[in-house]
Chains A and B, each alone.
Chain A
Amino acid sequence: MRRTFHRSTNTIARVSIFGFLFFLAGLAWVMITVGRSSYVTEAGIARRQPVPFSHKHHVADDGIDCRYCHTTVENSSFAGMPSTQICMNCHSQIWADSPMLEPVRASYRTGEPLHWTRVHMQWQTPANQDEMGRELVRSYKIKDARSLMSCSTCHR
């Protein structure tokens, strides 16, 4: 009987069927890796902000408690962004003439809020926060996330 297909067709078929699975897996891996890469997440990119603000300086050097600015962190799903008023509590006295802080003073004078650019995009709904909390408890082996963790455990 005359063969319709060459013998090698079997191999090609096997390779291409299984190969396709590998290809899919590889594709998925590429997509996930790209999705997590700093190219997509833009990690490490410094955003333009109205005022050059440094957490490191305010927290590590000056020793200001997180809750002084993020006032609602302990009783709301949103930690809170400090109002201009809070900035001015100190900066009406120190660096009161610094040109870098002019936008803050302008905001205080006019009542027009500062426009910061968001750096961390993960905006969590309360339900997600629950899930996130559970994840933290699992990976950090902490019984009660609220009482044992300090902000700087994660926010470094």
Chain B
Amino acid sequence: MTERHEQAEKFTTRTRLNEVASPHFWRSLEELSQSGELEEIVRRESPRHAALLDSALDRRQFLKLMGASLALAGLTACGARQPVEEIIPYARQPEQVVLGQPLFYATAATLGGYAMGILAESHEGRPTKIEGNPNHPASLGATDIFAQASVLTLYDPDRSQTVMYLGEIRSWGAFLVELRRALAKEHDRQGACLRILTETVTSPTLAAQLEQLLKDYPQAAWHQYEPAARDEAREGARLAFDRLYVVECTPSCTGAMADHRLPIKASEIESFARAVAAGLGIQTVEQTANQQSAIGNRQWVAALVRDLEQHRGASIVIAGEEQPPVVHALAHAMNQSLGNVGQTIIYTEPVEARPTNQLESLRQLVSDMDAGRVETLVITGGNPVYNAPADLHFADSLQKVGLRIHHSLYYDETSALCHWHIPETHYLEAWSDARAFDGTVTIIQPLIAPLYEGKSAHELLAAFSPQPDRLGYDIIREYWKGVRSQGNKGGAGVSTQTSVRTASASQSANSPDVQTVNFSEEFESWWNKSLHDGLVPDTASRQKAVSLKTDWLNQAPLSSNPQSPTPNPKLEILFRPDPSIYDGRFANNGWLQELPKPLTKLAWDNAALLSPQTAQRLGLTEEIASRGGEHGQMSVSVVELNYQGRTLRAPVWIMPGHAEESVTVYLGYGRERAGRVGDGRGFNAYLLRTSDAPWFGVGLEIKRTDDSYSLACTQAHHSMEGRELVRFATVDEYRSRPDFARREADDPGRAISLYPDWKYEGYAWGMAIDTGSCVGCNAHRTAMKV
């Protein structure tokens, strides 16, 4: 708090700032400056109001309309008859269904390819709610906002519903005919002009299908691209360790939980890591003088090194996913020298089916397309037209491809530029499988038949095989049957099961029939157990012994050129996936859009984040919108971001705790074909993102414009109006008035009511959050919308 306090004190655009003397807790810069504006916003801002999906209707109008219909409802309740309703029982009641009581099925939700085990609640065959699967390593009973909100996506009427050809409705059969024709051509040249573009694949079955396809068409290629890697390490550290140090540029939930947090520029993190590594006695490339000066905080480093050394084997150094390879290498080296490997860190075989440098993979694809080497391109999942790096000009290259097929949940930006669009099934509608971060396989079972004419990726790829009409269920089962009967492909754990099978096989060696029966019995029980548990036993990757290459340092030269000793006149730009709508794929999910993002508390929009000091230097402001009648709006300056010759206009957000002279922009907004909810909200930061600097780069220029923009922000909700939630006093004050904390609490100023007090019999429901262990993941808020 003191650090934020210091930061805010520098923020002198508010007049009363300098008068703040005693410790004072505050939640927004306006509250800190007590300019009176905050009270205004709180008064105007009713914290409970309906989310408005339709922008044509403002909230006031909505309330008017609602008021009218409520009044009407009151009238009709007296006079109107009940409508005639039907009861439609089952013809044959399914087993286990108790009407009115939900059933739970174990399955998995994926993000970035990685599975999180869930238990999906189903009411009379309709999935309604997602819970965590306590037995699954990636869930342990918990879920995240994306899993919670996925139910809404399932029922989203904006999802694409039919096979389309150039925007017109076609049948799956018509698509198969055209695909056959293209494949016949490819067959003759061994697939030389066939390309498949997927997102990250961990599904063993899908991987096997792709490998088979590459065997059938040896000259074809499989590319993978996804704009954001997943941040896995986020929450774990806090739970397992006593102290958490975070060095970061953009304030994050992890940073907010840290005991010690140091905001520095993203490009300085490498030199910081080198300094810590050097402190730990790891020989690193000699540091240049200016690098050392870049590390303004020697004491910080020294304290950190001391703490790490005192906790050998009980600490962990984690590099952010967005950091360059060299920082990751340094983190590995530090963990090794601290003796953490095998204690707090284990290395495993990669979980992904085919680990690829995805940017490289996409670049290769683009150059093939440009050279006219691609005639048939199948994009399954993903939205590269929207989210590929700007310098690759993916959309232009794409149009040089003769036959473009896009398979996705929505008819999106990429679909619009493709010939064929195949609707994708939601994960609650289709059979599949996927691995968790530790390799554990979950067989994904559907809870409902596809609502539209969706096909799963498995069914799409089956169209390339001699059996184009195979169902997802058969594909998955056949793959696992193959694995179980061979006992060598499915990775770890299958071996033990195989020995059982071998034993039974040898017993009945004379009669192959008995053997088949035994196998299929064993397989069925294995299959049912895997489905029931939500994970396939013993599929977690085995721990792998690793050692650092002796020459790792030579392979990891200074990645960025060292900063010049004078402060760089140009700013740094950082790209981050949006906390709520991720890389943009959830843009049409109203629950996620309505969710105030951690720390900024913005909803429905993205902004360019910068520190108060930088904002002041650039003369940027944010103010509570004084007029206009909307609630919880902040009027902020709009800037022109100029980066590598590309320009973008964005509203700014002043974020205490942000590193100086850096600007963070969130990806995922500015969609054009997301659907009714997500279209045209925010700005598209992908337009500035280049393949050489996907996460941060130097050389951003900012120009102020005279425009301002209204951002929806809930930070000032539930203001305590001076009655502090956290009460404090100095020792002297405490001595003279030991009950200072209780004084306020004893007299809450009870409201007078005509009604007698409510007496609680039995349970009194309430919700309590241990703010000490809350990490601000927002999951409960999303769950409450269900």
Contacts and interface: CB of A to CB of B under 8 A. Distances in A.
Interface residues of A, number: 32
Given A76-B99, A111-B92, A118 B87 contact: yes
Given A40-B81, A76-B101, A78-B100, A116 B91 contact: no
Contacts of B188: none
Contacts, number: 81
A117 B91 contact: no
Nearest to A75: B98
Contact of B89 (A82, A117, A121): A82
B91 A118 contact: no
A121 B83 CA distance: 9
Contacts of A72: 98-101
A82 B93 CA distance: 8
A100 interface: no
Contacts of A75: 98, 101
Contacts of A85: 90-93
A116 B100 contact: no
Q: Which of B89, B100, B101 has the most CB of A within 10 A?
A: B89
Contacts of B84: 47, 117-118
Contact of A115 (B79, B80, B86, B93): B86
B85 interface: yes
A80 B82 contact: no
B89 A116 contact: yes
Contacts of A107: 91
Interface in B594-629: none
Interface string B93-122: 100001111000000000000000000000
B88 interface: yes
Contact of B100 (A31, A77, A121): A77
B545 interface: no
B78 interface: yes
Interface string A54-87: 0000000000000000011001111011111110
B87 A116 contact: yes
A144 to B, nearest CB: 14
Nearest to B85: A118
Interface residues of B, number: 20
Contacts of A102: none
Interface of B is mostly: loop
A24 B723 CA distance: 46
Interface in B58-90: 77-82, 84-90
A107 B89 CA distance: 11
Contacts of B100: 72, 76-78, 80
Contacts of A26: none
B82 A112 contact: no
Contacts of A34: 78-79
A84 B85 contact: no
A111 B91 contact: yes
B82 A42 contact: yes
A114 interface: yes
Contact of B92 (A31, A42, A83, A116): A83
A105 to B, nearest CB: 11
Interface in A109-129: 110-118, 121
A71 B100 CA distance: 12
B81 A42 contact: yes
B755 to A, nearest CB: 17
A117 B90 CA distance: 15
Contacts of B101: 72, 75-77
A116 B88 CA distance: 6
A117 B87 CA distance: 6
Contacts of A82: 89
A114 B86 CA distance: 10
Contact of B82 (A76, A84, A121): A121
B761 to A, nearest CB: 9
Contacts of A31: 78-79
A84 B99 contact: no
A83 B90 contact: yes
A121 B79 contact: no
A84 B86 contact: no
Contacts of B81: 40, 42
Contact of A112 (B85, B91, B98): B91
Contacts of A80: 89, 98-100
B91 A83 contact: yes
A33 B99 CA distance: 35
8 tightest A-B CB contacts, nearest first: A78-B100, A81-B89, A76-B100, A83-B93, A83-B90, A118-B85, A121-B82, A84-B91
18 contacts: A35-B78, A35-B79, A47-B84, A75-B101, A76-B99, A76-B101, A80-B98, A83-B91, A107-B91, A110-B91, A111-B92, A113-B90, A114-B89, A115-B86, A116-B86, A116-B87, A117-B87, A121-B82
Interface of B: 77-82, 84-93, 98-101
Given A72-B100, A76-B99, A111-B92, 9 more contacts: A40-B80, A72-B98, A75-B98, A80-B99, A81-B89, A85-B92, A115-B87, A116-B86, A118-B87
